[in-house]
């Protein structure tokens, strides 16, 4: 599968930072850093916007108290302002959405944003414990 031209520009410099990439859709790529999988989404018609997602940073179960999960998510979002955390039935997903001047600036930011999401996951685990299926630590 071929990436759209904007996504290709975001992906080009990542190998130099030790981040592997695999295009899964013309608008999306799987990024792998330290054996953790992220998703990068870049639209063909909006090169100045991208979303970096860490799906299932914390897996949930029917036994989990959603109020505790939401409180921890809010605490982490207050501590790490750029990270967004969404609670879905299967887990907590972390993401960063950025408007940039273009793909070159976005590509330059990606290694730091990957580390930011790893830090946010660590903060989440600090508040909730290691959980059902920890992604890092």
| Sequence ranges of the domains in the chain | 5-128
Nearest by Cα to 52 from 6, 111, 5: 111
Instruction: Tell me what the mean pLDDT of segment 98-114 comes to.
Output: 94
- Average of per-residue pLDDT values in the chain: 88
* Mean pLDDT score, 76-85: 85
65 pLDDT band, cuts 50/70/90, is confident
Query: 5-128 — its CATH code?
Result: 3.30.1460.10
0.75 exceeded by pTM: yes
pLDDT tens digits for range 4-17? 999 999 999 998 99
pLDDT cut 90: percent of the chain above it: 57
Side-chain half-sphere of 99: how many Cα atoms within 13 Å?
0
Go through 3-26 and write b for each residue having 16 or more CB atoms within 10 A of its CB, e for each that does not.
bbebbebbbeebeeeebebebeeb
């Amino acid at each position: 599968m071929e990436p759209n031209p904007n996504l290709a520009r975001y992906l080009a410099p990542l190998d130099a930072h030790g981040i592997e990439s695999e295009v899964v859709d013309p608008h999306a790529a799987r990024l792998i850093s330290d054996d953790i999988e992220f998703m990068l989404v870049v639209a063909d018609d909006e090169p100045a916007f991208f979303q970096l997602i860490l799906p299932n940073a914390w897996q949930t179960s029917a036994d989990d108290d959603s109020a505790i999960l939401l409180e921890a998510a809010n605490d982490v979002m207050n501590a790490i302002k750029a990270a967004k955390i969404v609670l879905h039935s299967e887990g907590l997903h972390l993401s960063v959405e950025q408007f940039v001047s273009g793909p070159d600036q976005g590509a330059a930011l990606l290694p730091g944003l990957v580390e930011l999401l790893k830090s946010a996951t660590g903060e989440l685990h600090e508040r909730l414990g290691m959980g059902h299926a920890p992604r890092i630590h």
